[in-house]
């Protein structure tokens, strides 16, 4: 078995039973403990965490992890394994070579584990590359984090999202294909509610694809099956439709308003604000964008960070998702960018860590993730650098 050591950006092989001295530990439930601690695990699960005593007899085979803290592994609530973060259109052409895509995905999965990310939620791709990877991981033939996959998204044909799903002509077409859609296998349902934001025109968003009544019918089909629904939505209209239809999470949510936040708080809807696709363009500048686009991006970023902090103050559920695979949003590394953006928005660091662990576990629908307790599997934890916590 193994445990991710994000402090060293590698995975450590460990036996099913063992002992280690760690520099301390952190969990959303119990906070930060900075005292040297003896960690014991049995059958691959945490057995005890006890303060280190000077007179204590330590097993000769005890691991020396005093320079590390133990904590829950990170979770990324929004990625696209089939995209490469470099060139969207070239990547879509590369889809014609599945072996290349699978090779790339396996490298991304290793990167996630190396960086302490033990689970990801994939937002879909029309050919089903991420679903294939998810199944290889579940059967144990590939190494990587747990993947929760939507398989493909539900979008209206001829509108945004053609690379994410087959597209449906309308609600009648969806109703006709419901059985076929669900029997292909999904972990969560993703619906494209609005188009993309514009980089050259502030507050302009692609058209909304469904009415509230149509989206309610789509959401109901998932909830009747016990499946959570994530909604790609930006702009006042798109976000309003998603909230009124009763989705479980809003993805992106650019141009969120205070009224939206109040409704989300009341309904328990989570928000995954994906700052990195905007912020990283400014953080890692290139010659790709015009001066007007850069100015618009700065305004979008400033607005998004302000609303994120307002959401935090209102106790709206906030998850951490990167949209990894988007331009300049690399798999794995961008989760650290995303957490830094939320810290920059004004949220305390350990609160952001709770979002990237415990809250993300709720969003992924995976209750065994995002925590550090007795009986937690070691491969769902990570060893971080002491200074990082």
Q: What is the pLDDT of residue 386?
A: 84
Q: How far is CA 51 from the centre of its chain?
A: 33
Judge whether 121 and 364 are in contact, CB under 8 Å.
yes
Q: What is the pLDDT of residue 61?
A: 86
Q: How many whole angstroms separate alpha carbon 311 and alpha carbon 108?
A: 31
Per-residue pLDDT reduced to its tens digit, 47-61: 999 999 865 667 778
Per-residue pLDDT reduced to its tens digit, 237-284: 999 999 999 999 999 999 999 999 999 999 999 999 999 999 999 999
Query: Which tokens go with 349?
Result: 């660091």
Q: What is the pLDDT of residue 388?
A: 75
Strands (E), the chain: 2-5, 10-13, 18-27, 31-33, 37-42, 45-51, 63-72, 74-79, 117-122, 146-149, 189-192, 229-233, 249-252, 270-272, 381-385
Alpha-carbon torsion 344, 349, 353, 355, what sign?
A: negative
Which domains occur in the chain, in start order?
Answer: 2-73+371-385 (2.30.40), 74-364 (3.20.20.140)
Give phi and psi for 304, each to the nearest 5. -65, -45
3-class SS of residue 119: strand
What is the average per-residue pLDDT within 361-382? 98
- pLDDT of residue 110 exceeding 90: yes
Name residue 144's beta-bridge partners: none
Considering only CA atoms, which of 330, 338, 228, 336 is closest in space to residue 273? 338
284-310: b (≥16 Cβ within 10 Å) or e = eeeeebeeeeeebbeebbebbbebbeb
Q: How many whole angstroms separate alpha carbon 81 and alpha carbon 74?
A: 17
Query: Around Cβ 58, how many Cβ atoms within 10 Å?
Result: 13
Per-residue pLDDT reduced to its tens digit, 317-327: 999 999 999 99
């Amino acid at each position: 078995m193994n445990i991710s050591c994000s402090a060293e950006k590698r995975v450590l092989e460990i036996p099913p039973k063992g002992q280690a001295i760690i520099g301390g530990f952190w969990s959303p439930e119990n906070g930060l403990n900075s005292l040297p601690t003896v960690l014991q695990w049995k059958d691959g699960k945490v057995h005890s965490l006890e303060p280190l005593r000077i007179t204590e007899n330590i097993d000769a085979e005890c691991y020396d992890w005093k320079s590390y803290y133990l904590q829950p592994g990170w979770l990324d609530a929004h990625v696209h394994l089939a995209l490469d973060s470099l060139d969207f259109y070239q990547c879509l052409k590369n889809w014609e070579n599945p072996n290349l895509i699978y090779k790339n995905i396996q490298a991304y999965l290793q990167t996630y584990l190396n960086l302490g990310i033990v689970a990801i939620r994939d937002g879909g791709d029309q050919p089903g590359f991420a679903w294939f990877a998810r199944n290889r991981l579940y059967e144990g033939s590939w190494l990587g984090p747990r993947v929760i996959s939507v398989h493909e998204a539900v979008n209206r044909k001829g509108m945004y999202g053609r690379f994410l799903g087959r597209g449906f002509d309308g609600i009648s077409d969806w109703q006709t294909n419901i059985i076929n859609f669900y029997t292909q296998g999904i972990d969560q349902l993703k619906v494209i509610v609005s188009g993309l934001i514009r980089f050259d025109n502030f507050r302009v968003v692609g058209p909304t694809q469904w009415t509230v009544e149509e989206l309610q019918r789509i959401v109901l089909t998932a909830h009747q099956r016990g499946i959570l629904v994530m909604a790609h939505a930006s702009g006042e209209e798109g976000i309003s439709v998603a909230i009124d239809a009763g989705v479980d999470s809003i993805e992106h949510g650019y141009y969120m308003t205070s009224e939206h936040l109040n409704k989300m708080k009341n309904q328990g809807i989570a928000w995954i604000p994906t700052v990195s696709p905007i912020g990283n363009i400014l953080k890692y500048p290139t010659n790709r964008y015009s001066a007007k686009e850069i100015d618009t991006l700065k305004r979008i970023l400033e607005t998004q960070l302000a609303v994120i902090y307002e959401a935090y103050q209102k106790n709206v559920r906030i998850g951490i998702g990167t949209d990894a695979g988007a331009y300049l949003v690399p798999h794995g590394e961008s989760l650290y960018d995303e957490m830094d953006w939320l810290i920059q928005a004004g949220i305390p660091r350990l609160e952001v860590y709770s979002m990237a662990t415990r809250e993300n576990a709720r969003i992924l629908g995976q209750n065994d993730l995002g925590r550090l307790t007795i009986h937690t599997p070691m491969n769902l934890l990570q060893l971080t650098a002491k200074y990082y916590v």
